[in-house]
Amino acid sequence: VGMDSNSPRGMVDASGEISPSALKKYSDYIKSLNDPYILTAHHPVWNPPEKQESVYHKLLNREEFLTEIRKNPPMAYFHGHVHTNWIRKKDSEIPFLISNAASSTRDTDRSHLCGFHILDLQKDSFSVQRISYSKTKKSLSLKDPVVY
């Protein structure tokens, strides 16, 4: 299930929002599903403590969206927006896996662990590989995933 969290706000504002009508459509649609599902949107619903976002970069109605997601949680939530890779395991606070897919063609640097994930997602478990691209070497390589 894909959600559009992008909302144009100006040159220096990369914040997003899930519109009230989209939240309602999501809620109605999810109630009709009998199968597990995966949810995607551009903006994260959670950030690691060291990667907190300003009001000019975050999903503005994150808590409202999370409240709605928790009612009928997906197996996983996939997003981008923040240019570093991480995985968050599900727990009682957020009962679904979260995977951030950062820029897949940007070189990793001190602030950004770039690349993409290959996830094997099962009902009660998952395995993950992080793939990183090197422009200098023009190659892909396996890296340890960052898991919270």
For the cut 80, the answer to whether the pLDDT of residue 103 exceeds it is no
**pLDDT over threshold 80, residue 147:** yes
**Rounded average pLDDT over 52-73:** 93
Measure CA 82 to chain center. 9
Q: Cβ(118)–Cβ(129) under 8 Å?
A: yes
Question: Mean of the pLDDT values across residues 129-140?
Answer: 85
Can you tell me the mean pLDDT for 103-122? 80
The pLDDT, as a whole number, for residue 75 is 95
Sign of CA dihedral 31, 65, 96, 77: positive
* Overall average pLDDT of the 71-76 stretch: 95
